Structure 1
């Protein structure tokens, strides 16, 4: 019976080549983003092992492995595929995250099959014993204690305000006072994100018809062309053929870089923010302008889903579009109620571009500290009283 393996991070062309080579021995399931893989995994699908060839900071890289092993608790072995030399520190990081073994990007067929056979039934970590990794992200104890103290105290003191807001929300429109959606936080961990309901009940169904109102959507002049040429601009200028080529549905050779640019234009902006959103109720507009709709996230902070300060957790449809190694670094930081980009421009009037917001998230991920968090909190209060309805 063929073993079933999940391949993460490889290009479609590499997967097709791998599948053809191992057709008699392995059934291959390929995923190129974590959201689709986690959705597939939630259905209880069976597999024998995971082969991960993504880079460390990729959405399919180290953080996802930590989520799979430590949060979800999968027992199946995970093989890390790489052509780079592996330092002792990197081995420690991979072992601590739950990687079973490190193989070359294109492992010898017999070696891989032997490793899979040897792991059947045991599914244990077979890397050489190493010290606990000191490089993986951990929420600092001081930051976590601060979050617990602030969130617990605020929830207790604000409980009368919670009751008043809940009553006003229910009086204006039918439906629950609280609303949750699934968001992606630190390490691509998915959790329920709570707010006071500020929209009509059918708001989600109206979203698809309102994409033209998105502040982050590029103007027609700025959008990349959807036409896909056989060569990218870099290769045309150099007078060489493209090194990374794909085969389209008509059997034509196309440039992978050009394909990704066109696909990005087709999918639209990663973030979604609509000025003067017609789905918002009158009470909801007041709650949003004063940021009172965010208060239930104190419960998320108390649970450990979020921090008081961090990068904003993203809806699934936004998170799955941030797949480049550079921008995925934002998910290494804590998810938070407020953060650096909120106090920098607060998204006013669409002045902050999508790229600026991503860069600020990455800056926070690389430099966050308790001192910086306190500075952001102090700047948050004046930023709450914004004029624009965003």
Structure 2
């Protein structure tokens, strides 16, 4: 039996705290806190007895940003702090929260499964290992190669890094570097650094651009043969889609309206409704002029050499994923990609990137899993050599 996680829910509104406690009664042991003194005392007396803090208080209140700074900076609180916001958070406020040590900023009414996934990824006890059919062990030779290459690259490229930082600062307001939380080897979450290539308000524009996602699947229309009438099943024994592909319907299901539906088309429709695991927007209008150049030459990725030195990443591996992508990669097949080290470059980049062809989500996952199952030092060297021509890509993604 799985033990429920214990979380602290910070809110000055007792009704809101009671609502949250009732909603997650089966999943979380919730400790509601309504004032700063009570929370500070709890952290002093019961350090380690809870696994996360969920702060739903206004940022300018006594329970808001100032209290978070005190907990993370002055009291050195180790467990993650999530901010639950009922309104969109401005870029400036987001920067202040991340600097204060907030792990993530989430909508107040986030769906239950999404919130639990975030807690699972960021609030795991130290040393907890996700069970997988394979085990990853970083070889001393690979780690030595990473440190030597990353250290030498940072030293040699320091003039270029300073020049790019100056150009970014001149073109638009905002920080030169930014970080996001990414999921790497064994679902380990870390800070992932890049040069800023987008407008400062890029995050707020993403929701309105989901229709541009090149990984998004198109849901089958009701008239595409997904739903069958009893007469059609009796006469043909198959739906229009399977008939067009020259195959028989293997199994028929009954949907929520009591209609017969082909299982294949039902799965395709559900997948489209759930959304694609990856998000990649071609010709993204949020990218700045300098951003286009540093993306096309992959200069924006150079700050991740620091991630390599810190041991969060390797030179070669599978790209670490944002939380919203990683939470959709929990199946037995796709989760295998997290066995491999998180990398600056990898099999996916050198196989398809820059060749002008579209890559499906399934193809990308397959390449990641392939690398995870058979990577070696020699394979890494081959990928590094193939990465150089792939840097100067023509495809604007």
TM over 0.5: yes
Count of aligned residue pairs for this structure pair: 280
Distance verdict in 2 for CA 1:260–1:135, change over 3 Å: closer
**Aligned position for 1:159:** 158
CA deviation after TM superposition for structure 1 residue 218, in Å: 2.4
The answer on whether the counterparts of 2:278 and 2:325 sit within 8 Å (CA) in structure 1 is yes
- Paired residue for 1:364? 371
Alignment gaps of 5+ in structure 2: 6-24, 29-49, 56-78, 80-115, 229-238, 243-247
**SS of 1:43 mapped into structure 2:** strand
Aligned partners of 1:256, 1:68: CA distance in 2, in Å?
36
Alpha-carbon distance change, 98 to 344 in structure 1, aligned in 2, over 3 angstroms? closer
1:281 matched to 2:288: yes
| Structure 2 residue 52 is the aligned partner of structure 1 residue 42 | yes
Structure 1 residue aligned with 2:91: none
* Deviation string, structure 1 residues 297-343 (Cα, Å, up to 9, x no partner): 00000001100000011111111111221111001100000000100
In 1, Cα distance between the equivalents of 2:347 and 2:160?
27
- What does residue 147 of structure 1 align with? 146
Runs of 4+ deviating beyond 2 Å: 3-7, 40-46, 218-229, 236-239, 254-264, 347-350
2:4 aligned partner? 6
Q: What SS class does the counterpart of residue 190 from structure 2 fall into?
A: strand
Residue in structure 2 matched with residue 29 of structure 1 by the alignment? 27
| Partner-residue secondary structure (3-state), 2:27 | strand
Change over 3 Å in CA distance of 1:208–1:142 after alignment to 2: same
The answer on 1:336 being equivalent to 2:343 is yes
- SS of residue paired to 2:181: strand
Counterpart contact for 1:213–1:275, Cα < 8 Å: yes
Deviation at 1:347, TM superposition (A): 5.9
In structure 1, the partner of 2:233 is: none
> TM-score if structure 2 supplies the norm length?
0.60
Give the Cα–Cα distance (whole angstroms) in 2 for the partners of residues 282 and 224 of structure 1: 44
Correspondence for 2:187: 188
Task: Report the Cα offset of residue 184 of structure 1.
Answer: 0.7
Counterpart-to-counterpart distance in 1, 2:374 and 2:152:
27
Q: Check 1:256–1:168 CA distance in 2 against 1; reply closer, same or farther (3 A cut).
A: same
Deviation per residue, 1:132-186 (Å, 9 max, x gap): xx96311111111100111111111211211111010000000010011111111
State the shift of 1:222 in Å. 9.4
> 1:70-89 alignment to 2 at 5 Å?
72-73=126-127
> C-alpha deviations, 1:337-364, integer Å up to 9, x for none?
0000100111654521111111000000
**Residues 1-390 of structure 1 aligned to structure 2 (within 5 Å):** 5-6=3-4, 28-29=26-27, 41-43=51-53, 68=124, 72-73=126-127, 136-219=135-218, 262-346=269-353, 348-349=355-356, 351-390=358-397
The gaps in structure 1 that reach 5 residues or longer are: 8-26, 31-39, 47-59, 75-96, 100-133
The Cα of 1:98 is off from its aligned counterpart by 9.5
CA distance in 2, matches of 1:227, 1:318: 28
Evaluate the alpha carbon distance shift between residue 187 and residue 370 of structure 1 in structure 2; reply closer, same or farther with a 3 A threshold: same
Q: Contact 1:228–1:262 (CA<8 Å) still a contact in 2?
A: no
Matching residue of 1:128? none
* Cα distance between partner residues in 1 of 2:190 and 2:395: 29
Could you say if the C-alpha distance between residues 301 and 221 of structure 1 is closer, same or farther in structure 2, counting changes exceeding 3 Å?
same
CA distance in 1, matches of 2:211, 2:266: 23
